[in-house]
Each structure stands twice: as C-alpha cells, then as structure tokens.
Amino acid sequence: MKKVGLVVALLLVMTAVWGINPACAADESSVRIGVSMGTTQNLFFSKMAQIIQEHCREIGAQVMISDEGFDVNNQISSFENFISAGCNVIIAVVFNSEGIKDVVKKAVDNGIFVMTYDGFVEGAQGSLNLDNYVYGYQTGTMAADWINSNPELKAQEVIEAGIFDYPDIPTIIDRARGIQEALAEKAPNVRIVAQQKAGIGDEGNIQGENFLAAHPNIQIICGINDTGALGAYEVFNAVGHVGDHIGLFGADGDPRALELIAQGTIYRGTVFTGAYDVFPSAIDIAIAGSRGEEVDGNIIYNTIPVTVDNVSQFLED
C-alpha cells in the first residue's frame, strides 16, 4: 500500500487567499473551494490540508483554507467568507455540528455543495467519515494484544495505563471510549490511572511529563491520535522510561509513528486511516455535486491497525 509522504503544509491562518496553479488551465479553473479546518496544529490535519491543496492545483481549482483553532465562531465566519467569495464547494472539519447548522443551511441555500469531515451536520450534502468508536477500539485492542503476547505482562497483576483524549470534539469522545472499552475487555489487568486532553501541538509532551510525574510506574499510553502519543514518546525516551514493558499506541498512521514502530521502539502501534487516499475523490465528488450532478456524497473510509508485524506495508517506498 503506497503512502503519501508528509510535507508540512504552509497555511494562512484565518486570512486565507486563493491559490491556483497557472499551469493547470483545466476544466475546474472556475471552481472555488473553501476548506474549514478545525486546526492545522496536528500532523493529520496539516497533511489533510496539503493533500487538498495539491489536488486542487492538479485539477486547476481555486482553494481557500482557514484554520479555526477549534473555535466555532471562527468557523462560522469562515463559512460567511466562503459564501461571499462565491465558493462552489465547502469542506468543513466538524467539531460543533449544532453550532454551524444554520450557516451550513445558508451555504446550501446559496447553491454551495457542503461536505463535512469527521461528523454530520444537518443539511450538508456530503460527508467523509470513519467510525470513531471502532477507530479507538482498534488502538485499545493493539495495546491489549501486545500485553497478552508478553507472558510477563499478561501475568502482571496491575498495568498502569494513561489515555490521551480530546473531549472538546464530541466524536473524539467516542474514540476515547473505544480505547477504554477495548482495554477493559481484552486486558483486564490494565488500570487507567490518568486521562487528559492531548491531541495537538505540544500537549502530548506536557501530559507525558505529567503522567510520569504522577505515575512513575506507568507502562501504557493510548492516544486518540499520533500527535499526542508521539509527544509522550519524546518524553519517555528522553528520561529513559523505555524497555520491553513500555508501550505507546496512537492513530492516524503518521510517518514518524510508522518509522518508530519499524525500528522496534516503545512506540508499538498506530491505526492507518484511508482518509488520505479518498480526499482527492471526495473533492471531485463535491465538485460534481455542486454542478447538480447526482452523486453519493457520503463516504466511509477504512482504518487498519499497524504494528511491527505489518508496518513494512505502510512505509515509504
């Protein structure tokens, strides 16, 4: 399976401008696409934005990207800007579905095809989603399977674990619940001793330090994404909290996480998302829908657990 390489996307925060590749005088040169990101201070979302930008350049479409900082008022303002700018398509990362319901309706009433990501909003004509509970359950299952594959860990009376969640976003609550329930069902000797928000920026580093200070015997951290878990990895590695009895698990299939898994470090698993592969086709579907073509705009993509056993399939060529 071919992976798209990570290139840090250069985004204009809240003050977005149109970008078009003059070499692409293609059929889509009149198409304008507004993209409202919950954040770009996250490896997955920065890559998502970059993939969208690259595909729009390839087809000649114009694209405007805004970073909302998980502030619903910012997202509403971006929608208003996209409507005023004459967008044909709006793609929005959902973190407050009720808060943007009215402005989504306004966009649709103005003839704009609205596609949501990671959530559903009433009135939107399309969505790009995964099952967040299953996504989290896969992360928790990887951790439990790793514990059960090690006779010493399996026999250990109590294994202290921490969870990085992100309760600001309702769908991520389901993901964290999936982690918790997988651990409870499959590794009953795991005791969750800490759970804190860590999903963007340096939150994983900060909470990794906090978890270690409060629970020096902690052995497992499961994160709702790789960004947070990779921060904990840096902290654990720096202080020598490593070894065969330590395991960190994340999600999103970040290239750095894949490298660490392949190297046999304490970073033991991630979940690869098929979202990267479907973003270009999702854009094409949304453009077709904006022209009045009959489309199925609701896309569910697969997620695949990645451990040392299969990581070679996901590494860069």
How confident is the model over 56-79, as pLDDT tens digits? 999 999 999 999 999 999 999 999
For the chain, the domain total comes to 2
pLDDT in tens, 144-163: 999 999 999 999 999 999 99
**pLDDT tops 50 at residue 98:** yes
Full domain range(s) for residue 282: 27-129+274-301
- The stretch 88-95 carries a mean pLDDT of 96
- CB 301, CB 275: distance < 8 Å: yes
18 lies in a domain? no
* Same structural domain, 111 and 171: no
pLDDT for position 317: 56
* Same structural domain, 160 and 253: yes
14 lies in a domain? no
pLDDT for position 42: 83
φ, ψ of residue 259 to 5 degrees: the values are -60, -45
What's the CATH number where 280 sits?
Answer: 3.40.50.2300
* Same structural domain, 65 and 46: yes
* Same structural domain, 207 and 136: yes
* Same structural domain, 247 and 288: no
Task: List alpha helices for 168-253, DSSP H.
Answer: 170-186, 203-214, 226-238
* Same structural domain, 150 and 122: no
207 lies in a domain? yes
pLDDT for position 12: 29
121 lies in a domain? yes
pLDDT for position 22: 34
3-state secondary structure of 248: strand
245 lies in a domain? yes
Residue 301 or residue 99, greater confidence: 99
pLDDT for position 27: 58
- The stretch 111-140 carries a mean pLDDT of 95
* Same structural domain, 183 and 296: no
Mean pLDDT for all residues in the chain? 90
313 lies in a domain? no
* Same structural domain, 283 and 237: no
pLDDT for position 2: 37
pTM here is 0.81
* Same structural domain, 93 and 184: no
* Same structural domain, 155 and 193: yes
* Same structural domain, 178 and 72: no
257 lies in a domain? yes
* Same structural domain, 252 and 281: no
3-state secondary structure of 138: helix
Tokens representing 59?
């087809």
- CB 222, CB 247: distance < 8 Å: no
